Amino acid sequence: MKNLKGRKVLVTGGAQGIGFAVAECFAGEGADVFIGDIRVEKAVEAAKTLEEKYGTASKAYKLDVSSREGIRSCFERFKEEQHVLDILINNAGIQIRRPSLEFEEEKWDLLMNINLKGAFYCAQEAAGMMKDRGGAIVNISSGTSTETLPGRAPYCISKAGINGMTAVLAAEWAKYNIRVNAVAPGWILTQLLLDGMNMGIVSEKQILAAVPMKRLADVREIAGPVVYLASDEASYVTGQTLFVDGGQNALGLPDMGL
């Protein structure tokens, strides 16, 4: 049993995709789950779905992780209304596909502000609420933090930064009983990936050659490890990046049928 009943969880970028799957997994364990997202209407809809399906408290908060002021404003409102925060899931992020020789500074800044800077300041705000009572932070990294993809340099760099941030914050905040870990997903079966396959950007054959388990992940297979790392079952785990990728990180060379 993960013993999450009544815990207050904030999931950034929780209105859809991995974020919503994580939110739903927490709600299924009895936690009160709050959705922080810039897409307010979708966040409200997601929170309503959680309340109706699981009977736990849920609410949407407008959160623009690209803005320091937007982050501060969201956490101030959260603190006024919820008073405490037990778990933060740093999930919000974007990906921009573009050759490195052509990557504009404006796009670089946008991606880094959301994926890395925003994650840091969300963690900082959360830790400020947790330092007197402990808590857990789980950052969403990516398999591309170590297994890079050409044409996605800033994204890969931002996720490598998440791994480093996870380790240093874990070491720094352990004295407050705040645990900080990360989950690095591999290839997940999403509509975005299916669209990419249909457009010929990537093929399933290419992907599965790099995955020993020879299949794509379901988004719920990412949510489970996130909830585990945030739970008391992982009470002595901190500073770790857990690769949930079907063995891709362990393989090295792709399977060439040798």
Which helix H or strand E contains 99, and what residues bound it? none
Q: Which pLDDT belongs to residue 211?
A: 94
pLDDT of residue 203: 87
Predicted pLDDT at 258: 44
b (16+ CB within 10 A) / e for 26-55: bbbbbbbbbbbbbbeebbbebbebbbeebe
Give the integer Cα–Cα distance in Å for 94 and 18.
Answer: 12
Domains of the chain: 8-188+218-243 (3.40.50.720)
Instruction: Give the per-residue pLDDT at 190.
Output: 81
Question: Which residues lie below 8 Å from residue 94, measured CB to CB, with a gap of 6+?
Answer: 110, 111, 114, 115
Over the chain (258 residues), the average pLDDT of each successive run of 10 is 88 97 98 98 98 96 98 98 98 94 97 98 99 98 91 96 99 99 94 82 87 94 98 98 95 65
Could you give the angle at which helices 219-230 and 17-28 cross, rounded to 10 degrees? 50
pTM of the model: 0.95
Query: Any catalytic annotation for residue 155?
Result: yes
What backbone phi and psi angles, to 5 degrees, belong to 184? -110, 100
Q: Which of 121, 155, 176, 228 is catalytic?
A: 155
* CA pair distance 185, 166, nearest whole angstrom: 15
User: What residues form DSSP beta bridges with 241?
Assistant: 182
